Amino acid sequence: MNIVLDCSGALEILLQKEKARLYAELLKNADWVAAPDLYKIECMNALWDYTNSGEITREEALGKQEELFGLVDEFTDPSENITEAFSEAVRLRQNVRSMMYFTLARRLGAVLLTSDQSLASLAEKEGVTVR
């Protein structure tokens, strides 16, 4: 099974949230895990939020960066699907950021691993398998 992982799914694992065990097991058994380069920015922004709120230190955040990036086997260049993501964002009235993950999963025939309920619902309606 191939997986496209978004930041919310990765943070679910890292922060040991409700679906952490399930998501970790899915990644462990995946043949291949992909994410758009955008994932790196989103994850670092989330770590900044946790650092800014005092929940973790800068050093802890940098350590978690390695963990988050290590969950992905291949990062794709945004130019591969940015136009498609924009077109789908307009058609489906969604943000381009979410459509980057959606279109990549659809394009690769991969499972979309996300804890973003809005994205999950939309992707399933559009025929993408979501976990």
Q: What is the CATH number of the domain that holds 66?
A: 3.40.50.1010
Domain range for residue 35? 2-125
The count of domains in the chain is 1
Tokens at 49, concatenated: 């939020």
pTM for the full model? 0.94
Residue 90 lies in a domain: yes
Instruction: For residue 43, name the pLDDT band (cuts at 50, 70, 90).
Output: very high
Quick check: 115 and 22 in contact, CB under 8 A?
A: no
Region 11-31: mean pLDDT is 95
DSSP letter for 116, please. Answer: -
**Chain-centre distance for alpha carbon 75:** 11
Q: What length does the chain have?
A: 131
The reply to whether 42 falls in a domain is yes
Residue 131 lies in a domain: no
- Would residue 15 count as lying in a domain? yes
